[in-house]
């Protein structure tokens, strides 16, 4: 269960905080907030509303609703470090799973998909994803066959993040997805999405997309 005291987020400062998450899990100060928020298990920002060396507090990385039961938050106040994602495809690629409080049905569906039909406890999911998304604090990429990947997986090509959707690849940015490019066949690629999350997508979990 995630930490209580969530959502609706108070107006963000005029200068964006460094809390916009890209598909590799890196944090940037971008003007676009995105469609989901989340956290990494607690507070790791400093009192001056800036980051130090830390980029997470614990292995419980979750993706949440931006609006939930009318709650309001002081972003990067005394509570946890709020993060924002373009959409769920981005959050999953960065290694965040659905929150069991504000997104309970999606979290239940995800736990069954990642557990091959049997619900996987949150602590077990967090242990697995923690191993897959980090390598001494650097993002770990995973080798995969592009032909085998389901919709919603994010791959890397020439340093760019692209989301798999049908027969196309969608270039990712904080503003949204670019014009689709053809999805090549018979190639091996690097995948940003953790393998366990890719399997959950293959087993039927349907992530939220922003408008393309």
Q: What is the pLDDT of residues 160-209, one digit of tens each?
A: 999 999 999 999 999 999 999 999 999 999 999 999 999 999 999 999 99
Tell me how far apart the alpha carbons of residues 211 and 60 are, in angstroms, rounded to a whole number. Answer: 28
Backbone phi, psi, residue 171, to 5°: -60, 130
Q: What is the pLDDT of residues 99-137, one digit of tens each?
A: 999 999 999 999 999 999 999 999 999 999 999 987 655
Q: Indicate the number of domains in the chain.
A: 2
**Residue 42 tokens, joined:** 């607690």
> Model's pTM, two decimal places?
0.90
Q: The domain containing residue 195 runs over which residues?
A: 140-202
Q: Is residue 99 domain-shared with residue 154, that is, in the same domain?
A: no
- The reported pLDDT for the residue numbered 2 is 45
- 5 in a structural domain: no
Beta-bridge mates of residue 113: none
CA triplet 175, 12, 52: central angle to 5 degrees?
Answer: 90
Q: Which of 120, 135, 150 is the last residue of a domain?
A: 135
Residue 13 makes CB contacts below 8 A (sequence gap 6+) with 49, 75
- The reported pLDDT for the residue numbered 129 is 96
- 209 in a structural domain: no
Q: Is residue 83 domain-shared with residue 123, that is, in the same domain?
A: yes
Which letter does DSSP use for residue 209 in this model?
A: -
């Amino acid at each position: 269960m995630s930490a209580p005291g969530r959502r609706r987020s108070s107006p963000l400062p005029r200068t964006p905080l460094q809390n916009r998450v890209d598909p590799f899990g890196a944090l940037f100060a971008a003007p676009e907030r995105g469609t989901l928020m989340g956290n990494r298990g607690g507070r790791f920002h400093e009192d001056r509303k800036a980051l130090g060396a830390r980029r997470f507090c614990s292995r419980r990385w979750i993706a949440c609703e931006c609006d939930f039961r009318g709650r309001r938050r002081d972003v990067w106040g005394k509570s946890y470090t709020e993060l924002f994602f373009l959409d769920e495809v981005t959050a999953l690629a960065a290694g965040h799973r659905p929150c069991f409080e504000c997104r309970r049905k999606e979290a239940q569906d995800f736990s069954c998909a990642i557990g091959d039909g049997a619900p996987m406890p949150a602590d077990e999911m967090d242990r697995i994803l923690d191993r897959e998304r980090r390598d001494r604090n650097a993002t770990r990429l995973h080798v995969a066959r592009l032909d085998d990947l389901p919709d919603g997986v994010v791959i890397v090509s020439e340093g760019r993040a692209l989301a798999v959707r049908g027969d196309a690849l969608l270039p990712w940015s904080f503003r949204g997805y670019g014009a689709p490019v053809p999805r090549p066949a018979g190639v091996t690629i690097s995948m940003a999405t953790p393998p366990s999350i890719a399997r959950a997508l293959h087993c039927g979990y349907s992530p939220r997309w922003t408008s393309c």
